Amino acid sequence: MTSLSEAGTATRHDVASFLALEAQLLDTRAFDEWLALWTPDARYRVPGGPATSEGRRIALIDDDRQVLEDRVFRMSHPASHVVDPPPTAVRLVGNVVVEPSDGVALEARSAYVLVVNRLGEQATFAARQRHRLVERDGGLAIAVKQVELTCGEDALRNLTFLP
């Protein structure tokens, strides 16, 4: 857990460090430590698929804390064929913009690029992400994470990683 520069006020630097830490934990598949970054009432959402004629889209991921723990369990279970072998990945987070806290949480917008390798193939993904972060124990925690993949409307092969 990163600690804040000044008690009670997260700076842009604190937020960027936190997002970099999150990315590194996912890259190294340190899922338990990654889960520890989330609040108990967290929401993780990744919309997908093209919109209907009325503008509605599906979610590739729409997890509360319980389902997120199940997802992590499956991601690391030897019987999950999609992670046998597991992918290797590097995430680069940048363009971090922090909206001031509304008293409860602050909102961070960032861009990220993800390069994934598995079974001799390399794939590149790009996304815009929004984190709603709360201050907790002198650090930050994720209350909401929403990821918008630039390829989210397209037909996708298995996402063998957490976007």
Nearer to another protein among residue 85 and residue 100 (C-beta): 85
Q: Would you count residue 126 as binding another protein (CB under 8 A)? A: no
- Stretch of residues binding another protein (CB under 8 A), selected from 24-32, 34-42, 72-80, 134-142: 72-80
**Which amino acid appears at position 159 of this protein?**
L
Site string for another protein, 142-161 (x = CB under 8 A): -----------xxxxxxxx-
Listing DSSP states for 54-98 in one string gives T---EEEEEEEHHHHHHHHHHHT-TT-GGGSSPPEEEEEEEEEEE
Footprint on residues 52-71 left by another protein (CB under 8 A):
52-54, 56-62, 67, 70-71
- Stretch of residues binding another protein (CB under 8 A), selected from 4-12, 73-81, 94-102, 131-139: 73-81
Q: Would you count residue 97 as binding another protein (CB under 8 A)? A: no
